[in-house]
Amino acid sequence: MMKIRNAAVVFAVIGAIGFSQSAMAAGVKSSLKSTRGMAVYSKGTEVIGTIFMNKYGYAPLTAVIDIPSGRKLTDVKVTVLAKGADGVDISYHVAANELLQHSGIPVFGLYADYQNRVLVNWTEDGKRQNHTFNMRTGGVKFTPAANARSSYLKGEVKVKAAKGFEDRLYLVDGFGDGSARSIVGHNNPKAPGAGLWDRSPTLSMYDTNGDLRWYMDYQAFRDAEHYRKTGYVMGIKQVGKDLVWGAGQAYHRMSLMGEHVYSRDLPGNYSDFSHDIHHRPNGNMIIRVAKKDYRNDIGEIVNTVRDHIIEVDPNGKLVHEWDLNGILDPYRDITLKGLDMGAVCLNVDVDKAGKTVTKEELAAMPYGDVPGVGAGRNWAHVNSVSYDELDDGLIVSLRHQSANIKIGKDNQVKWIMSARGGWKGDLAAKVLQPIDADGNNIDCTEQGQCPDLDKFDFTWTQHTAYIGKNNDQRYFKLFVLDNGDGRGNEQPAMPTMKYTRGVEYVIDEENMTVQQLWQYGKDRGYEFYSPVTSITQYMGDKDSNFIASMSTGLYEGKTVGKILEVPYGEDKPAVEIWVHGMAPGAPGYRATVIKPAFDQ
């Protein structure tokens, strides 16, 4: 089939009605260069100009209304009008530089397979004007099997958005049916790292009525036969007007409109990105990686697994490396012995649910993407990175250590928030002491079992150790998604005793203490339990705690991502949306809040 690259297909029709690109693009494998969207042309009778649907080829629920040369529009506002009585308008202002960037007006947040109505207000020749455009979109295209899961195309509203939360948009990073997985890997079969960690993603955005309002046509972007175009899509975040994420051997940037900004290989001998990227205010990025051809402490050459973090500058040049094999203890196994082997992050094997491994089994594990000790095995499983600008401290979550740790730019550990068991030497002195609200010590066991879990508990196989509200030089606020597997470094009597929670702590970095301030999810029990994945994040614009428990129901074969926001200090969600998974064994990874930032 012929490839269409960087060419607009123009149809002569009457009126300004858009058509989706999806019918033409079906079955077409695209390069990283975008396929231009279809346009509608009406021989000068259009109100403003030509309408390009999916102009850049990767965001089918977007459009650009071309502004002809010689016309000057200012004070532009776009409103994609709601569908039905319960629908939600998406409304935003468009800055002058954005009009120049697109040579037109960007339209974001269309409904799929629908005759959309888009109200545009603008000023021209000193007069305020407006017009409602009709834009027809096509059906959603993920992978064939994913498309068949129509439940994924509509979020289920569990808590109707409270006042002030109606305009929220949630981008869900999910995983499809697993078709066309990568067939390429690293050239070290004895110690392969995580090079084959790959699955076709679904990247989709929902409003607070549960309606799909944006998705990325990732099948036009990835190539299962290309070393640098595969890998799990992870760590996707909004940075200004763009989305940034990593996958396998590269990291990428693309605008909300689908403009491909860049794709960059990981530098040097770094490999196997997964889980997280953190964007610093100076433009540098902190990226979780691994290391190829690494000589471990017994002299063997291995590809490591999820145990390195690097910082790169805005041009992709390496600034700093944190090698956790040298900073921490890769042989600490207290948490690994308590893990549920049925779900080790996205490596899901229901037949192993509830099973654990012994110290001897861990030591005898082959090299590769398996739980085990020592460089070359998945001993750390770093699944989040963030950065404290106040003291140049890297904050990492190590799932397989059930530990949240802060490390300086000098590669020295500042503190460890974890059960005391297994930490030795200088590292043992960095473990924080739990205290209650009155400053009294809480005596937990070496295993991490504490007397009153409503007052204090550690986090277990957690995801996303991020900075909370009102962080300062002495008192560090830590907000964590506590998945809850291996709580107390053991498995409970019944699997249904597990629970997942979002939990906020304050760490006194001078006195080396930690106090639990707030939690949500414990009272919901197993219904809210996600054995893997998920996210928490403090949202300053709404003064709320955002929590997404993304793999509930995983072992029952009916995965649901449960996305909610709780006003800060309260205990009931202001909004809650459930998004159903693609297939059994396919958890959602994370969700994130998206803002139509076209006014920058």
577, 165 in Cβ contact below 8 A?
no
Task: State whether residue 335 is helix, strand or coil.
Answer: coil
Closest alpha carbon to 547 in 458, 479, 470: 479
The two structure tokens encoding residue 541: 């614009």
Which sign, positive or negative, has the C-alpha torsion 328, 252, 551, 303? negative
Burial code (b: 16+ CB inside 10 Å, e: under 16) for 366-403 equals ebbbbbbbbbbbbbbbbbbbbbbeeeebbbbbbbbbbb
The CA-atom distances, in angstroms, between 376 and each of 190, 228, 302, 372, 411 are 10, 21, 5, 9, 21
Give 400's Cβ-side CA count (13 Å radius): 31
Location of structure tokens 């998206």: 594
- CA–CA separation, 64 and 270 (whole Å): 38
Instruction: Identify whether 320 is a catalytic site residue.
Output: no
- Collect all residues with Cβ–Cβ distance below 8 Å to 594 and sequence separation of at least 6: 169, 170, 171, 205, 214, 238, 256
- CA–CA separation, 551 and 281 (whole Å): 31
404, 480 in Cβ contact below 8 A?
yes
Which of 252, 278, 400, 463 is flagged as catalytic? 463
513, 433 in Cβ contact below 8 A?
yes
Task: State whether residue 82 is helix, strand or coil.
Answer: coil
Q: Which residues pair with 38 in a beta bridge?
A: 9
Strands 201-207 and 270-271: unpaired
Closest alpha carbon to 592 in 569, 571, 561: 561
| Burial of residue 295, with CB atoms counted within 10 A of its CB: 0-12 exposed, 13-18 middle, 19 or more buried | exposed
174, 233 in Cβ contact below 8 A?
no
Residues involved in catalysis: 463
